[in-house]
């Protein structure tokens, strides 16, 4: 039996990436396809709280989108604003997502992981995961957390049951 395919949207947050050089968004799109999920929408916005929030809010309200993966804007620089844009939209925060991501990435980048502010939550029965913008960070998040938690066969629990009622 195959896993239940989910409808996923990708948002790249960047002041510099274009459709031609959005390697992290492309990498996530490939991971989604390989896991037999459906890429429903993919957009890029500048690192601006209101542009991020507008796109994510629109997708939360779209009953066809079950998961939103945001890449970029989670660092600690002045321009990084993804957590500030997205966290107010959460009905519930998945505290363990950011904690687990940082624990896993510590083995690769050491204490620099403390500056990663990746977050996850649930809003209107839509899962939202915000990852750093590097390809390596996207792979860490997808391969070590999201791939399993978005697989209906993952035991003892996964997020799919929250989305397919």
Q: What domains are defined for the chain?
A: 7-163 (3.40.980.10)
Contacts with 132 (C-beta within 8 Å, 6 or more apart), sequence order: 71, 72, 74, 75, 116, 118, 138, 141
Structure tokens at 29: 């799109």
Per the rule left: phi > 0, alpha: psi between -120 and 50, beta: everything else, 54 is alpha
Residue 65: the pLDDT is 97
Q: What is the pLDDT of residue 76?
A: 85
Give residue 143's pLDDT: 96
Contacts of 19 by beta carbon, 8 Å cutoff, 6+ apart: 44
Give the strand pairing for 126-131 and 119-123: antiparallel
Q: What is the DSSP letter of 136?
A: H
Q: Tell me: the pLDDT tens digits for 7-30?
A: 999 999 998 887 788 899 999 999
Q: What is the pLDDT of residue 2?
A: 57
Query: How confident is the model over 122-139, as pLDDT tens digits?
Result: 999 999 999 998 999 999
Residue 164, pLDDT above cutoff 80: no
- Could you tell me how far CA 105 lies from the centroid of its own chain? 16
Say if pTM beats, i.e. exceeds, 0.75.
yes
pLDDT for 121 equals: 97
Closest CA to 120 of 144, 87, 150: 87
Which residues lie below 8 Å from residue 161, measured CB to CB, with a gap of 6+? 152
């Amino acid at each position: 039996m195959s896993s239940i395919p989910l409808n996923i949207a990708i948002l790249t947050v960047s002041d510099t990436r274009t459709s031609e050089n959005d390697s992290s968004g492309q990498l996530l799109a490939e991971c989604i396809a390989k896991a037999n999920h459906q890429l429903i929408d993919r957009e890029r916005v500048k690192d601006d709280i209101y542009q991020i929030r507008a796109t994510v809010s629109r997708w939360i309200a779209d009953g066809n989108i079950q998961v939103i993966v945001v890449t970029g804007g989670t660092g600690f620089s002045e321009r990084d604003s993804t957590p500030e844009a997205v966290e107010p939209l959460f009905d519930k925060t998945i505290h363990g997502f950011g904690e687990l991501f940082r624990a896993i990435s510590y083995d690769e980048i050491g204490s620099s992981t403390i500056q990663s502010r990746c977050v996850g939550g649930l809003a209107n029965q839509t899962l939202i995961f915000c990852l750093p913008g590097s390809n390596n960070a996207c792979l860490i998040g997808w391969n070590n957390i999201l791939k399993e938690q978005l697989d209906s066969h993952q035991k003892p629990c996964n997020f799919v049951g929250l989305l397919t009622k």
